[in-house]
Amino acid sequence: MNKKELFDAFDGFSQNLMVTLAEIEAMKKQVQGLVEENTILRLENTKLRERLSQLEHENLVKTSSKQGKDHLEGIYDEGFHICNFFYGQRRENDEECMFCRELLDRK
């Protein structure tokens, strides 16, 4: 190999290295973008899981509250007082009690 061929070989090799370096830099930027997107999605996922957990807890509280109210309504329908004043006493002739009704009508 003469000097010109050697220089041409080095020049070609140098050009290939520059192209490869540019490709690597492009891949590096793409990976960096993916890492940032992944981080954002992980944070969003965490927040959504926390919100879902909160909603499930609220739903559980509402369900248990509704079950308690249904139970009191059943006792009242059987003819017993559920108010603080006469709790457990039988309602005479199944008459309405305004204190019991107030408890049942609460939200």
Q: Is 65 labelled a binding residue?
A: no
Q: What is the DSSP string of 49-86?
A: HHHHHHHHHHHHHHHHHHHHHHHHHHHHHTTB--STTT
| Alpha-carbon distances of 51 from 11, 64, 99, rounded to whole Å | 60, 20, 38
Q: Is 21 labelled a binding residue?
A: no
CA distance 84 to 98: 12
Q: Is 75 labelled a binding residue?
A: no
Q: Is 106 labelled a binding residue?
A: no
* Residue 107 structure tokens: 């939200």
Please report, in range form, the residues annotated as the binding site for Zn(2+). 81, 83, 97, 100
Please report, in range form, the residues annotated as the binding site. 81, 83, 97, 100
